């Protein structure tokens, strides 16, 4: 807390995912052999057809400010992608391209929330939903779930959390951090509750859409009675391994898209020109072009689940998508290991960092203090070595 700073930032938590990654980087610089399983960041290189589009954009002298909501032909590629992959029909005035899906989410919170509006977050939820809402004046309302229900919210729990002040619900499927994927029937059951409360807007974060090991991906906006009340968020960070290129986008009711455009026009202007040109190539590619990454993630999921199962006291669900496992480690609470008492998931993650040199993230940051998040967007060797070290440190 520094009184010279605004209450807004003083009350804000530091992003736990980025903080853990920074801590791991710092320890590595001190010469420690840290294995980083904290950050949700694919370890693949960017596909060549995307790189080539970026190189071509530089050669073609793209350099100017871009339209605030994105190049027209990129928006067209997004419209075609939404239609092709999600059967969602959007027009250009409903699309806004941003500097990462994180900015898309921040724009949405800024344009939709007034002071005191409640934001429903089925927990565990992605770490930034909560602080992005708070900084816009919203009040996060966590809806707890448990590993026994595969970390999915039930219609009853959703209904019970709704109040006259509820303005937004934000969720991701496939979910970061749990990897859970809502089926069509499960989402429909949630939609049946939401249609009874027409003032609630749903933000459906579909950034892990392609990293899905089930039958298929379901978009909330695909239900005709939810289309006008749902914002679909997506981006290229995960599916195309383009985390540092910083491109995300939304498909939204037109009045929301216009508001995001206005907000972004005052805050950042349009997203990076070269990355936008590259994103056109990424989105125009058939999903089969990136299947090799999904196949690798699936193999790593099997590997990490097998290795976790060998460690006593760790209870993991089988994630259906994304590249995280979110095991319950509460068995260790109250235990003293190598002279260190583990009182919570934060202590546990710190213990793993210090004693096993493996970086993970406390579940507390995602609204579930019994768990930790382990990212398996890492090489098989790193996963094997990390789990060997964790097993040894916990023995």
Name residues contacting ligand GLU, limited to 67-126 (CB under 6 A). Answer: 102
Q: Which stretches of the chain are DSSP H helices? A: 7-10, 16-29, 48-59, 72-86, 101-112, 128-135, 155-161, 184-194, 254-267, 273-284, 291-309, 345-351, 380-394
Name residues contacting ligand PMP, limited to 38-77 (CB under 6 A). Answer: 40
Report CA 22 to chain centroid distance, whole Å. Answer: 18
Comparing CB distances to ligand PMP, the nearer of 97 and 358 is 97
Q: Assess 176 for contact with ligand GLU (CB under 6 A).
A: yes
How many positions of this chain bind ligand PMP (CB under 6 A)?
Answer: 13
Q: Pick one of ligand PMP, ligand GLU, none as the site partner of residue 311 (Cβ within 5 to 8 A by kind).
A: none
Q: Assess 15 for contact with ligand GLU (CB under 6 A).
A: yes
User: Among 57, 88, 101, 257, which residue interacts with ligand PMP (rule: CB under 6 A)?
Assistant: 101
Q: Assess 36 for contact with ligand GLU (CB under 6 A).
A: no
> Which residues on neighbouring strands pair with residue 289, listed in sequence order?
none
Ramachandran class of 5: left when φ > 0, alpha when ψ lies in -120 to 50, beta otherwise: beta
Name residues contacting ligand PMP, limited to 114-153 (CB under 6 A). Answer: 126
Q: Pick one of ligand GLU, ligand PMP, none as the site partner of residue 235 (Cβ within 5 to 8 A by kind).
A: ligand PMP
User: Cβ-closest residue to ligand GLU?
Assistant: 40
Report CA 166 to chain centroid distance, whole Å. Answer: 22
Q: Assess 217 for contact with ligand PMP (CB under 6 A).
A: no
Alpha carbons 251 and 233: distance in angstroms, whole number: 7
Q: Which stretch binds ligand GLU (CB under 6 A): 35-43, 86-94, 253-261, 378-386?
A: 35-43
Q: Assess 248 for contact with ligand PMP (CB under 6 A).
A: yes
Question: Is the CB of residue 275 less than 8 Å from the CB of residue 246?
Answer: yes
DSSP, collapsed to helix, strand or coil, labels residue 359 as strand
User: Among 39, 123, 296, 365, which residue interacts with ligand GLU (rule: CB under 6 A)?
Assistant: 39
Q: Pick one of ligand PMP, ligand GLU, none as the site partner of residue 47 (Cβ within 5 to 8 A by kind).
A: none
DSSP, collapsed to helix, strand or coil, labels residue 149 as helix
Q: Assess 179 for contact with ligand GLU (CB under 6 A).
A: no
> Which residues on neighbouring strands pair with residue 371, listed in sequence order?
328
Q: Assess 18 for contact with ligand GLU (CB under 6 A).
A: yes
User: Among 57, 191, 202, 207, which residue interacts with ligand PMP (rule: CB under 6 A)?
Assistant: 207
First to last CA, the chain: 39
Report CA 221 to chain centroid distance, whole Å. Answer: 18
Comparing CB distances to ligand PMP, the nearer of 119 and 394 is 119
User: Among 34, 35, 37, 40, which residue interacts with ligand GLU (rule: CB under 6 A)?
Assistant: 40
For 229-266, letters b (16+ CB in 10 Å) and e give bbbbbbbbbbbbbbbebbbbbbbbbeebbbbbbebbee
| 392, burial (CB in 10 Å: exposed 0-12, middle 13-18, buried 19+) | exposed
Kindly list the distances between the CA atom of residue 324 and the CA atoms of 195, 212, 260, 344, 383, in Å, as whole numbers in the listed order.
31, 12, 30, 20, 12
Q: Pick one of ligand PMP, ligand GLU, none as the site partner of residue 351 (Cβ within 5 to 8 A by kind).
A: none
DSSP, collapsed to helix, strand or coil, labels residue 3 as coil
User: Among 36, 235, 270, 367, which residue interacts with ligand PMP (rule: CB under 6 A)?
Assistant: 235
Q: Pick one of ligand PMP, ligand GLU, none as the site partner of residue 18 (Cβ within 5 to 8 A by kind).
A: ligand GLU
Q: Assess 173 for contact with ligand GLU (CB under 6 A).
A: no
State whether the Cα torsion 333-336-341-342 is positive or negative: negative
Would you tell me which residues interact with ligand PMP (CB under 6 A)?
Answer: 40, 100-102, 126, 172, 176, 205, 207, 235, 237, 243, 248
Would you tell me which residues interact with ligand GLU (CB under 6 A)?
Answer: 15, 17-18, 39-41, 102, 127-128, 176
């Amino acid at each position: 807390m520094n009184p010279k700073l605004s209450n807004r930032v003083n009350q804000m938590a530091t992003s736990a995912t980025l903080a853990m990654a920074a801590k791991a980087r710092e320890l590595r610089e001190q010469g420690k052999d840290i294995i980083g399983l904290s950050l949700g960041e694919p370890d693949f290189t960017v596909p060549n057809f995307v790189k080539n589009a970026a190189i071509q954009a530089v050669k073609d002298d793209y350099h100017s400010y871009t339209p605030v909501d994105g190049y027209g032909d990129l928006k067209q590629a997004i419209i075609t992608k939404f239609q092709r992959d999600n059967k969602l029909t959007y027009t250009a005035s409903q699309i806004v391209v941003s500097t990462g899906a994180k900015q898309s989410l921040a724009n949405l919170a800024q344009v939709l929330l007034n002071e005191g509006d409640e934001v429903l977050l089925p927990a565990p939820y992605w770490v930034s939903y909560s602080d992005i809402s708070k900084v816009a004046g919203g009040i996060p309302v966590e809806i707890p779930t448990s590993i026994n229900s595969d970390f999915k919210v039930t219609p009853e729990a959703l209904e019970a959390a709704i109040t006259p002040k509820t303005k937004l619900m934000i969720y991701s499927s496939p979910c970061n951090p749990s990897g859970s994927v809502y089926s069509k029937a499960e989402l429909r059951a949630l939609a049946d509750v939401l249609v009874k409360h027409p003032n609630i807007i749903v933000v459906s974060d579909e950034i892990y859409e392609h990293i899905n090991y089930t039958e298929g991906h379901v978009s909330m906006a695909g239900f005709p009675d939810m289309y006008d009340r749902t914002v679909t968020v997506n981006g290229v960070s995960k599916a195309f391994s383009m985390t540092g290129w910083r491109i995300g986008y939304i498909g939204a009711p037109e009045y929301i898209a216009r508001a995001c455009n206005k907000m972004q026009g005052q805050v950042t202007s349009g997203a990076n020109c070269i990355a936008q040109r590259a994103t056109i190539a990424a989105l125009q590619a058939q999903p089969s072009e990136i299947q090799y990454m999904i196949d690798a993630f699936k193999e790593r999921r099997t590997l990490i689940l097998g290795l976790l199962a060998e460690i006593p006291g760790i209870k993991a669900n089988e994630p259906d998508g994304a590249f995280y496992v979110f095991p319950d480690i509460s068995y260790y609470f109250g235990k003293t290991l190598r002279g260190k008492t583990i009182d919570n998931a934060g202590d546990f993650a710190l213990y793993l960092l210090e004693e096993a040199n493996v970086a993970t993230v406390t579940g507390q940051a995602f609204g579930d203090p019994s768990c930790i998040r382990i990212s398996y967007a890492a090489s098989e060797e790193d996963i094997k070595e990390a789990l060997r070290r964790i097993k040894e440190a916990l023995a």
